Amino acid sequence: MDTKEKLIAFLDSKVKDFSKISDKIWDFAELQFKEKKSSELLSSVLENEGFTVEKNVAGIKTAFIASYGSGNPVIGILGEFDALSNMSQKSGVTHKEPLVEGAPGHGCGHHLLGTGSLAACIAVKEYLKETGMKGTIKFFGCPAEEGGAGKVFMVRSGCFEGVDVAMTWHPASQNMVWEDSSLATNQVYFNFKGISSHAAASPHLGRSALDAVELMNVGVNYLREHIISDARVHYAVTNTGGIAPNIVQAEATVLYLMRAPHISQVRDIYSRVCKIADGAALMTETQVETKFDTGECEYRPNIPLTKLIEKNLKEVLPIANYTQEDISLAKSMIDTMPSMDGFLHKLEDKKLVEYIEETGICNGFIEGTNGLGSGSTDVGDVSWVVPTAQFTTSCAACETPMHSWQLVAQGKSNLAHQGMITAAKTMALSAFDILQSPQVLQEIKEAFEKDFSQEKYICPIPEEVLPGY
Ligand SMILES: [Zn+2]
């Protein structure tokens, strides 16, 4: 058995152990910045495996870094473990039925994400231990991916200093690499303050904060024509100032989410939106205050590292350990979802199409990229400071949407566990290639230096904004 075969065999022999961990995190289903039990479980497993664990990093109680080995290269693997609100769902059933009404659930598969990354780290540790090779493997316990930008705070506090490469993955319903960029974001609250009065008896004394919010939204809707077409501006009125129409609203708040392909474009749009807010305040004689919520840089994939991951993902596919039970679960799940004909038509590999039609599982490598182009992720900020690559594996029936009850229902299935182990194998093999060959790392680093030769990372979140506030 060569080393790569050994790494694969090691991970295959531990499927049950790792599945137990991910199932527990599925049960915990903890929301952003509150992932106490999930973080504790992952860090204690790594501690027992001989990793040195640094807790409470970046001022976040549930963030941690577990390291094993010494010297360079330093390979980082990122793990997430936060759940989504209101996504509670019974496991293994093919209809929508919450486990606990209104409770959180793992609608984005982060229980698998954290555990798969942990499994990869443990496999690499076994290799380092056995060979006595130089090199460090680091698991980054990254909380609050879902709207909390946990990794941005970790980047800001220097957690990734000295790390040579960072890898991560995401559970999905297909095996693909992520070669696209994502959209950079700024999310900001605009709080307007006016003067309350009786809307009929003394309307002339009132200054309406709600009017200001409405005028601001109108202004921003006119702005849309004069910003780049790839930008996105969304808003939600989070405080209307009350429910009584006969009281002039003394306060109102609107939350803006601005996105664009490059963080500098987001900054530009944000400053223009601020001018519109000032204009709305001026028109209504109200006051406006901004409260910065969160921000992320765009994801900039390191291409040589992405190619390395692609090579290894192809090497560990197809997944051989599906059961009849997996197939019937996948097929019944597909019956609850919109038609996947559109997806199948796009596939060139006709054998794979046949396999999917027969089993409901996308058990092959999908060429192309996982199109994060219209989404955003806090992995983006990591990619600015460390050469970074990410990919997805098939952890659910083909075309299962993210953030859906169907994904939660499949989260403890063998389908999910096999996808998780496939991700672990891919990252362990890629880490092995980097440890083995200075040339591989050299290419990765050169590409990174070229990509960022003209730009320096500026944290999109202002210094005074703390995690979770
Ligand atoms: Zn996710």
In order of their start, the domains of the chain are: 3-182+298-451 (3.40.630.10), 184-296 (3.30.70.360)
Distance 234 CA to ligand 1 centre (A): 20
Distance 146 CA to ligand 1 centre (A): 7
Angle between helices 414-436 and 324-334 (to 10 degrees): 110
Q: What pLDDT shows up at residue 147?
A: 80
Distance 70 CA to ligand 1 centre (A): 31
Distance 171 CA to ligand 1 centre (A): 8
Distance 215 CA to ligand 1 centre (A): 35
Length of the chain measured in residues: 469
Distance 84 CA to ligand 1 centre (A): 9
Q: What pLDDT shows up at residue 321?
A: 84
Distance 375 CA to ligand 1 centre (A): 11
CA 104, CA 83: separation in Å to the nearest integer? 6
Q: What pLDDT shows up at residue 370?
A: 57
Is the separation of the CB atoms in 372 and 176 below 8 Å?
no
Distance from the Cα of residue 59 to its chain's centroid: 20
Per DSSP, helices labelled H in 240-262 are none
What number of other Cβ atoms are within 10 A of residue 229's Cβ? 7
CA 194 to each of CA 209, 281, 283: distance values in angstroms, whole numbers, following the listed order: 5, 9, 12
Q: What pLDDT shows up at residue 371?
A: 58
Per DSSP, helices labelled H in 132-208 are 150-156
The pLDDT tens digits of the residues spanning 62-86 come to: 999 999 999 999 999 999 999 999 9
What number of other Cβ atoms are within 10 A of residue 154's Cβ? 28
The pLDDT tens digits of the residues spanning 431-462 come to: 999 999 999 999 999 999 999 999 999 999 99
Distance 185 CA to ligand 1 centre (A): 16
Is the separation of the CB atoms in 213 and 238 below 8 Å?
no
Q: What pLDDT shows up at residue 12?
A: 96
Beta bridge partners of 207: 195
Given a cut of 50, the residues of the chain with pLDDT beneath it are none
Sheet with 232-239, strands from edge to edge, namely 232-239, 251-260, 184-193, 287-296
